Structure 1
Amino acid sequence: MHGTPPSIQPRPWEPAARQRDGPGARRLLRAWRSPSLATTVARMYRDPPSDAPLVLTAINGVVVAYDRLSGRQVWRFQATLQGVEHAPTLCVVEGQRVVSVSAKEVRTAMLSWTAAAEVNCLDYLTGGRLWTCDAVGEKGIGLYTATLLVSGGQVLVTQGTQLFAFSLLNGTLQWQQPLRGLDGSDVVRPVSLALPGHTALVAHR
């Protein structure tokens, strides 16, 4: 017995499929395939920000800048490292300036040496040194325990038992204060520095 064949109902997903193939979807696909949009999107994932083309490393008083696209070395800076080996080097980028802190020893008497933090300010793009100064703590302390924080045009550094504030512009010492809370022992521990929204770097040995 033959009856009238049942009507074929469209599958639930077919209208959506037809809608995806509609004129609106085709316009979006053409826009995505256009050279201008494709190039822009590709650059979002390929190119670093134009104001931050370099990534820096700092170790043993050596600061090296690498091109973020190619990995090529762009510049290299060597701190003094007088009488010190294998001490941590701190590095912060602030705008177009790089501040590095590394260990050195300075003579404070005929046969006496004291650990110091050498502070160098470099140009971010070229590595040229803009200024340098030493943060020398209490005499006779031979341990390098620097902390670095840069903010608001100021370079804050601790070394030994002292806290220093330098001008980011030219390295001028703005003020120096002894650290409070020390227990009088000969061992100077790493010191934390804090400002709202900023994290300090601490040299651990």
Structure 2
Amino acid sequence: MSRTMSGLVPLLLAGLALLGACSSTDKPKPTPLESVTPQIAGRQVWSARLDGVQFPLQVVAREGTFVVASTGGTVAAFDAQSGREAWRGEAGSRLSAGVGSDGRFAAVVTQNNDLVVLERGRKSWTAQLSSRTTTSPLVAGERVFVMGVDRVVHAFDALDGRRLWTYRRAGEPLTLAQPGVLGVYKDTLLVGQGASLVGLDPLKGTLRWDVPITSPRGTNEVERLNDLVAPLLRVGDMVCARAFQNAVGCVAANTTSLRWSRLGGGQQGIGGDADLVFGADASDRVTAWKAASGDTAWNNERLLHRGLSAPLSTGRTVVFGDAEGQVHFLSRDDGKTLLRLPTDGSAVVAAPVLSGTTVLVVTRNGGLFAFRPE
């Protein structure tokens, strides 16, 4: 068994054992919610429901619609403004990863390792993958890019499903079962390979550049796991990511150089804007870093152990969901709570996503809740 395939063991540890306390009876109790006097207006504007989300969902906002998927294999698009269902399709099997979409094509991966591509709800084609997949596919430029838990990247033609190329990084160590990084910067495909942000030629699958976000730490391979985890933050030429349980860093993609890196243990990805980068650590301590320097702008410890999602930065707020379905709107300037809105009581399973002025939150029970802060 190769070391990468033995990553199916710490795959393990990726999403489970390494999170230790997550299944322990000694897990700290969530910090009680403080009373909040709303400082901004905001309300739920529509809701919908799928059959539950038990996998690492990525929600896509494209062309005024939200594209979502459920564990049972339903893939659907909803008008962001009204909540009207634009289309719905079925992958035909339970999902392990999804969804990626360019507005026309939507791609998901099943628990049988099948990549399934739908065109506006109609199943277009499928392709068998060689490994389990937890990272949402990326659809761009009439191509579908997929990365397995072994961090091998495949490119397919979105129109007919032809496999175009495969990229395999030599000597990749044990990898996480947690969603990794796939993104785009201009004409370059961005891929997380270990703790490095890698730029690939999307037409050929060849390496253009490789910038480490951090260096491995720990005394054994499990402790040294530091894969980049989704979601990725891109603002202009700045691309930022979290290395699992290790650091947060930003790369200047135009010069392919590391801008800054700061220690910051956590399992969830990050969000931000041109001025600030936001994220929560393993204890759910929220930190804002200055995007230019990496210096700390503020910390918030009022949401400790609440199981925070990755954040969304929008307007004057940064938005987190938590494990009890609460949605927290914090001030981007100092981290104080401006507004809190409920969902259905089950965990928020993905970073909140913005389309226009509408923020969508998806819960473990399959609830879709659209909010409009004002």
| Band of TM-score, shorter chain | 0.5 to 0.7
What's 1:77 paired with? Answer: 127
What's 2:109 paired with? Answer: 58
Paired residue secondary structure (1:77): strand
Residues 52-91 of structure 1: CA distance to partner in whole angstroms, max 9, x if unpaired? 54322224442211232xx44210012211xxx4x40321
Paired residue secondary structure (2:183): strand
What's 2:226 paired with? Answer: 188
Return the alpha-carbon distance in structure 1 between the equivalents of residues 125 and 163 of structure 2. Answer: 12
* Segments of 4+ moved more than 6 angstroms: 197-205
Paired residue secondary structure (1:135): coil
CA RMSD of superposed structures (Å): 3.6
Cα distance change of structure 1 residues 137 and 91 upon mapping to structure 2, 3 Å threshold: farther
Deviation at 1:171, TM superposition (A): 0.6
What's 1:148 paired with? Answer: 182
Q: How does 1:56-205 map to 2 (within 5 A)?
A: 56-60=107-111, 61-68=113-120, 71-81=121-131, 85=132, 87-104=133-150, 117-136=151-170, 138-139=172-173, 141-144=174-177, 146-180=180-214, 183-184=217-218, 185-188=223-226, 190-191=228-229, 193-196=232-235
Return the alpha-carbon distance in structure 2 between the equivalents of residues 134 and 188 of structure 1. Answer: 18
Deviation at 1:160, TM superposition (A): 2.1
Superposition TM-score, scaled by structure 2 size: 0.31
Cα distance change of structure 1 residues 187 and 162 upon mapping to structure 2, 3 Å threshold: same
Cα distance change of structure 1 residues 72 and 58 upon mapping to structure 2, 3 Å threshold: same
Cα distance change of structure 1 residues 128 and 200 upon mapping to structure 2, 3 Å threshold: farther
Q: Which sections of structure 1, spanning at least 5 residues, go unmatched? A: 1-44, 105-116
Query: Which amino acid in the other structure matches residue 100 of structure 1?
Result: V
Work out which structure has the larger RCO, using CA pairs closer than 8 Å and 6 or more positions apart in sequence: 2
Deviation at 1:118, TM superposition (A): 1.2
Q: Which sections of structure 2, spanning at least 5 residues, go unmatched? A: 1-84, 88-101, 245-266, 269-374
Paired residue secondary structure (2:166): strand
Query: Which amino acid in the other structure matches residue 126 of structure 2?
Result: R
What's 1:38 paired with? Answer: none
Paired residue secondary structure (1:125): coil
Cα distance change of structure 1 residues 166 and 46 upon mapping to structure 2, 3 Å threshold: closer
Q: Is the 8 A contact 1:144 1:160 kept in 2?
A: no
Cα distance change of structure 1 residues 176 and 200 upon mapping to structure 2, 3 Å threshold: closer
Q: Is the 8 A contact 2:108 2:136 kept in 1?
A: no
Cα distance change of structure 1 residues 143 and 89 upon mapping to structure 2, 3 Å threshold: closer
Return the alpha-carbon distance in structure 2 between the equivalents of residues 199 and 59 of structure 1. Answer: 29
Matched positions, count: 139
Cα distance change of structure 1 residues 161 and 56 upon mapping to structure 2, 3 Å threshold: closer
Cα distance change of structure 1 residues 173 and 98 upon mapping to structure 2, 3 Å threshold: same
Superposition TM-score, scaled by structure 1 size: 0.53
Deviation at 1:174, TM superposition (A): 0.9
Q: Is the 8 A contact 2:216 2:225 kept in 1?
A: no
Question: Could you say which structure has the higher helix fraction?
Answer: 1
Residues 146-176 of structure 1: CA distance to partner in whole angstroms, max 9, x if unpaired? 2111231211111323322111111111122
Return the alpha-carbon distance in structure 1 between the equivalents of residues 176 and 190 of structure 2. Answer: 19
Deviation at 1:120, TM superposition (A): 1.0
What's 1:7 paired with? Answer: none
Paired residue secondary structure (1:55): strand
Cα distance change of structure 1 residues 74 and 162 upon mapping to structure 2, 3 Å threshold: same
Question: Could you say which structure has the higher strand fraction?
Answer: 2
Between structure 1 and structure 2, the one with the greater Rg is 1
Return the alpha-carbon distance in structure 1 between the equivalents of residues 239 and 116 of structure 2. Answer: 22
Question: What is the identity percentage for the equivalent residue pairs of Structure 1 and Structure 2?
Answer: 29
Cα distance change of structure 1 residues 137 and 150 upon mapping to structure 2, 3 Å threshold: farther
